[in-house]
Amino acid sequence: MAGFPVILGSVTFLQKVIKEKEGSDDRHYAAAGGIAVEVLSAMRTVVSLNGEQHEISRYDERLHTAEGSAAKMAFQMGVGNGGMFGAMFALYGLGWWYGSQVVASAMEANCNGDNCMTGGKVVTVFFAVLMGSMAIGQAGPSIQALATALEAAGRIFDTIERVPKIDAMSSEGSTNDFVEGALTFENIVFAYPTRLENVVYQDLSLKIKPGENVALVGPSGEGKSTLISLVLRFYDPQGGTVVLMVKIYEH
């Protein structure tokens, strides 16, 4: 059991390095391939601007980054393999030495019962511990993947089971066929639920009279379409009220 933690740690480290290497290589080569596709699809523009050497340098830079990452990973894999096999060979020596001592002690004591240590028992215990520790170490990445999957599943089920504040399928409330057209925003405070730290409106007030044409002008992301979303009640404001006047006809 003395060599168990060393073998377990080295195998786990080796599996982690291999997993990181695969992801890192994919990212670097994907970036280099993206540059190649971009340049080849716009070759005329590159040639017209005399940018061949610049694009070659960009591509080489990505490949050099991948090369450096591969060298680092190779060193780490060497350390992991060396630690694993070194621990195994050390365990061989320790196990055979200690096993021989126990067997020799049993022989000196003329022990013949089932509780006496024999060479076969030493070999059985030795390989059981050795193979068991390696198997547990190889199970480490799978356990990590399982934990990641459970975390992702938890977020998915939270989304599925979430009860929205606005029930689009609800039949409660009044419906009106005739709208007068007067629209009032009173001290509106609003931020999207997924970006509560980015406040879109802070104490916004606006009145639109019936039949009045109003233009909302501004760059993208300034909240023009958000006003329409609030009128249609795709979202509710965190503060203030939205008032839409309706006509009531008596028969």
Cβ(104)–Cβ(88) under 8 Å? no
Residue reference for tokens 């096993």: 99
> Quick one: pLDDT at residue 174?
72
Q: Write down the pLDDT at residue 250.
A: 52
CATH code where residue 239 lies? 3.40.50.300
Whether 151 is covered by a domain: the verdict is: no
| Amino acid at residue number 242 | V
The 3-state secondary structure of 139-201 reads HHHHHHHHHHHHHHHHHHHHHHHCCCCCCCCCCCCCCCCCEEEEEEEEEEEECCHHHCCCCCE
Are 55 and 10 a contacting pair, CB within 8 Å?
no
Q: What is the pLDDT of residue 186?
A: 92
Give the closest residue to 133 by CA, choosing from 13, 15, 16, 11: 11
Assess whether 118 and 206 both reside in one domain.
no
117, 213: one domain: no
Our count of domains for the chain comes to 2
Asked if residue 171 belongs to a domain, the reply is no
Question: Which of 213, 237, 212, 238 lies closest to 227, judged by CA?
Answer: 237
Among 104, 137, 170, give the residue marking a domain's end: 137
Domain end, chosen from 103, 137, 171, is at: 137
Strand arrangement, sheet containing 239-246: 201-208, 179-190, 239-246
Report yes or no on 172 lying in a domain.
no
- Domain holding 61, by residue range, is 4-137
DSSP code, position 202: E
Question: pLDDT truncated to tens, each residue of the chain (251 aa)?
Answer: 777 777 777 777 776 776 666 666 667 788 888 888 888 888 888 888 888 898 899 888 888 888 887 788 788 778 877 877 787 788 788 888 888 888 888 888 777 777 788 888 888 888 887 787 777 767 766 776 777 788 788 889 988 888 777 777 777 777 777 777 788 899 999 988 877 888 888 888 999 888 888 888 888 778 888 888 888 888 889 999 988 877 655 54
Distance CA 56, CA 46 (A): 11
At which residue do the structure tokens 């233009």 appear?
215
CB atoms within 10 A of CB 20: 14
Q: Determine, yes or no, domain membership for 123.
A: yes
Same domain, 131 and 234: no
Asked whether 180 and 210 are in contact (CB, 8 A), the reply is yes
Residue 99's CATH number: 1.20.1560.10
Do residue 191 and residue 68 come from a single domain? no
- Residue 137 pLDDT: 65
C-alpha span between 235 and 191 (Å, rounded): 9
**What is the bridge-based pairing of β-strands 179-190 and 239-246?**
antiparallel
Q: Which of 109, 137, 165 is at the close of a domain?
A: 137
Shared domain check, 112 and 202: no
* C-beta separation of 82 from 17 below 8 A: no
Q: How far apart are CA 198 and CA 50, in angstroms?
A: 43
Q: Is residue 61 part of a domain?
A: yes
